[in-house]
Chain A
């Protein structure tokens, strides 16, 4: 659906996007992850035809963004970082304007507007001034604007920034509900969001792609596994015993009310069984043993700081 090859963008001397290549399949939700200023927004602006690239190609639904921007723009719904709303208009006037701008024929306009108002839950603010709405509603109006023409591709630039937790979860639900009917590219710097909504993530740092994995594959990328042990009595000898197991890299003893031991090791079941065995044998009184889900956060921070492996 979306093909990007060797895309580069320079702002004067500064390289904002550096030879990025990726592709997105139809119906996929792609998370675009990176720090502020990593080049996420720039890539999105190029894809939507807002900004030309310095070099490289990008195509959407088979149409080249630079050679055939008109066809591309018809197929894309775009929500920029700041929702592009006119504060002096009513919500309904604004959506009417966008529908006209998009060339939606008069006969379908009413029905499409009603559909998008329903979908983005704007019914109760339909006849209010956009300028008087809360941040969350403004964001939804922005989203409604991107959805009104039923685009095949949806490009959302940090759609959940500034929303309260309830609104964030609603927005995520909305984006998830678009799965399979639409292709979505979604940028954020919040990691849990990516894990909760996306099929695949691309991590971008200083204009370059540093990782491109599906969410499921992320767990098994040769990273160490973390296991949490809750015991009755932790002691030096227990820690030493666990460290003695082959494949264990690091053991840390924590105690905050309960005695906890965090073990880092290669991810294999034999090692887990061995750890359990030595812990019980050392007389620590094993209460519980559970895998700690590899935090995306760690993965991400390690990637962009350039080293793999985990430190607590």
Chain B
């Protein structure tokens, strides 16, 4: 796996050599900051209301669920900007020839690309954890729930990044890769509402529940409630592995054409 580590090192270096990593990190933290400020405001209001015996049952943990659901959604917007260049930039600069004529297996190239973007996303996730610090300092959140939520976020990001790198492997234009990755992620999220809209079963397949199951939203939501189900973990891991497998095939087929 020497090739994969070489690629990871180089990719992360490239991210920080261009403004892209800084801009994406900055924008993400800014947007999350705005949402967190709103969250603090809400929490404060509910706290006040509760002193007068209203809004019972609204806890910090319950509010935090909404915060993290927002965050998972915002990451759909952020991911394409980090994954768009993975393969398309190599294609445009004709550097795939370098990778493919080095004694490195294709799967190492694919994994190297995937992990470089994934590591950057995890760094971003780690930076967002200072909101947790605020919550701990001025509230009493359930740390276990937050831990489960972060596990869910990390798993969801693996899915996002794998999808982004698959789409990047299919085009030599970064812009096209970014737009399609965004559309694909958004579509996956909307499957949840789409599935819920279909109540009756059409034919032999229960379409509604199937679509809901395909969407990452429901799987992620159980993490935000502090529930770690094996089926959700399996969903995210199998989604990621399957997409990486597809990316491998696409990258391989690029050379046949």
Which residue numbers of A lie inside 8 Å of B, CB to CB?
Answer: 45, 48-52, 70-71, 73-74, 76, 78, 80-82, 84-89, 93, 97-98, 100-103, 145
Contacts and interface: CB of A to CB of B under 8 A. Distances in A.
A80 B5 contact: no
A84 B2 contact: no
Contacts of A103: 2-3, 103
Contact of B101 (A48, A52, A81): A48
A84 B89 CA distance: 12
Given A84-B98, A86-B93, A101-B98, 6 more contacts: A48-B97, A50-B255, A51-B255, A76-B101, A80-B97, A103-B103
A74 B101 CA distance: 9
Given A52-B255, A89-B13, A78 B101 contact: yes
Contacts of A48: 97, 101
A196 B255 CA distance: 34
Contact of A88 (B2, B17, B256): B17
Interface of B: 2-3, 5-7, 9-10, 13-14, 17-18, 93-105, 255-256
25 contacts: A45-B97, A48-B97, A48-B101, A49-B101, A50-B97, A71-B103, A73-B101, A74-B103, A80-B94, A80-B97, A80-B98, A82-B94, A84-B95, A84-B98, A85-B95, A86-B93, A87-B93, A88-B18, A97-B6, A97-B9, A100-B2, A100-B5, A101-B98, A102-B103, A103-B3
A98 B10 CA distance: 10
Main secondary structure of the interface of B (DSSP, over half): helix
B13 A101 contact: no
A89 B104 CA distance: 21
A130 B47 CA distance: 58
A8 to B, nearest CB: 15
Contacts of A100: 2, 5-6, 9-10
Contacts of B7: 101
Contacts of A97: 6, 9-10
A78 B17 contact: no
A96 B159 CA distance: 31
A71 B13 CA distance: 29
A45 B3 CA distance: 21
Contacts of A98: 98, 102
A102 B103 CA distance: 6
Contact of B104 (A80, A85, A87, A101): A101
A82 B7 CA distance: 20
Contacts of B3: 101, 103
B101 A50 contact: yes
A88 B92 CA distance: 14
A259 to B, nearest CB: 54
B198 to A, nearest CB: 43
Nearest to A94: B10
7 smallest beta-carbon distances between A and B, as pairs: A100-B6, A84-B98, A73-B103, A84-B95, A97-B10, A82-B94, A48-B101
B100 to A, nearest CB: 5
A73 B99 CA distance: 11
Of listed B9, B94, B98, residue having the most chain A CB within 10 A: B98
Given A85-B93, A97-B9, A100-B2, A49 B100 contact: yes
A262 to B, nearest CB: 46
